[in-house]
Amino acid sequence: MAIDHLSNDERGVAAVEFGITASAFFALLMGGFDVGHTLYMQTVLQGTVQKAGRDLTLASGTEAAQRLAVDTRVRNAVRRLNASIPDEDIKITRDYYANFTTAQAAQPEDANQDGVCSPGEVWVDRNFNNVYDSKGGSSGQGGAKDVVVYSVTVSYPRLFPVARLIGMSETVKLNATTVLANQPYGDQANRSGTLTPRNCT
C-alpha cells in the first residue's frame, strides 16, 4: 500500500526536471552572452581602427607623437570594453605601400611566398627599402600619398568557460584592419631601382 502511494507521488518532479535541463540551459545562455560580447567587441574595435586610420592619414600622422597618441586611443577603447586585457595582447601594426594595388596584393618578398625568409632562400626587394618584408610593404606610416594598412589584433580569455565544453579555444582573437591613403601633403617618395635577387640569411 505504501509502495503504491510513493509510485503515484509526483512532488519534486519539477525540481528533478529542472536539475536535468538547467545545465544545458545555462551553458546555452552563457554561450549566447559570450558570442554577443565577442560581436560587440569586434564591431567597436573595427570602428575604432577606422577612426584611428583616418586620423593617421592626416599631415600630422607621420609624427611619432601623433602615432603614439592614436595607438593609445585604440588601446584605451579596447580596455573600456575589457579592462583585463594587458598591453602585450593588443598588437598594433602599420605597413605602407606605394598604391592600393600593391597593398591589396600584399605579397611576401621571398621566393616561396610564405612570409618566411629561410636561410639561403632568394628574395627580391620590390619596395626598394633594403629590408625583407613578409607582407611586401614597409613597416611604418610612410609618407605623402602612401597607402597604409593599419591593423589591430586583440587576444583575451572568454568571459565564460563554455568553450571548453564544446571543444573551442578558450581565447578570443579579434582582428580589425583598415586601408587608407596618406594625404597628398607633398610629393610621394620615389621608390625605384633594379630588382636584384638576394639571399636570406
- Predicted confidence at residue 49, as pLDDT, reads 92
- Predicted confidence at residue 59, as pLDDT, reads 62
Q: Is residue 120 part of a domain?
A: yes
Please answer whether residues 98 and 137 qualify as being in contact, where contact means their C-beta atoms are separated by less than 8 angstroms. no
**Of the candidates 93, 75, 95, the residue with the CA atom closest to the CA atom of residue 83:** 75
How far apart (Å, rounded) are the C-alpha atoms in residues 113 and 106?
A: 10
Q: Is residue 4 part of a domain?
A: no
Q: H-type helices in the chain, by residue range? A: 2-7, 13-56, 64-81, 100-105
What CA–CA distances, in Å, run from 153 to 21, 45, 143?
38, 9, 24
Q: Is residue 56 part of a domain?
A: yes
State phi, psi for 167 to the nearest 5 degrees: 80, 20
DSSP 3-state percent helix, strand, coil across the chain (nearest 5): 40, 20, 40
Partnered with residue 95 across adjacent β-strands are 139, 149
Q: Is residue 167 part of a domain?
A: yes
**Of the candidates 179, 95, 187, the residue with the CA atom closest to the CA atom of residue 142:** 95
Domain of 90 in residue numbering reads as 9-199
Please answer whether residues 31 and 162 qualify as being in contact, where contact means their C-beta atoms are separated by less than 8 angstroms. yes
- Predicted confidence at residue 125, as pLDDT, reads 80
How far apart (Å, rounded) are the C-alpha atoms in residues 159 and 31?
A: 9
- Split into its structural domains, the chain has a count of 1
- Predicted confidence at residue 151, as pLDDT, reads 93
How far apart (Å, rounded) are the C-alpha atoms in residues 48 and 163?
A: 27
- C-alpha cell read off for 15: 525540481
- Predicted confidence at residue 8, as pLDDT, reads 65
Q: Is residue 178 part of a domain?
A: yes
Q: Is residue 1 part of a domain?
A: no
What are the pLDDT tens digits along the chain (201 aa)? 455 555 666 666 677 777 788 878 887 888 888 888 889 999 999 999 998 888 887 766 567 888 888 899 999 999 888 888 888 999 999 998 888 888 887 888 888 888 888 888 888 887 777 888 888 888 888 888 888 899 999 999 888 777 777 777 888 999 999 998 888 776 677 777 777 788 887
Q: Is residue 35 part of a domain?
A: yes
Q: Is residue 71 part of a domain?
A: yes
* Amino acid code (one letter) for 21: T
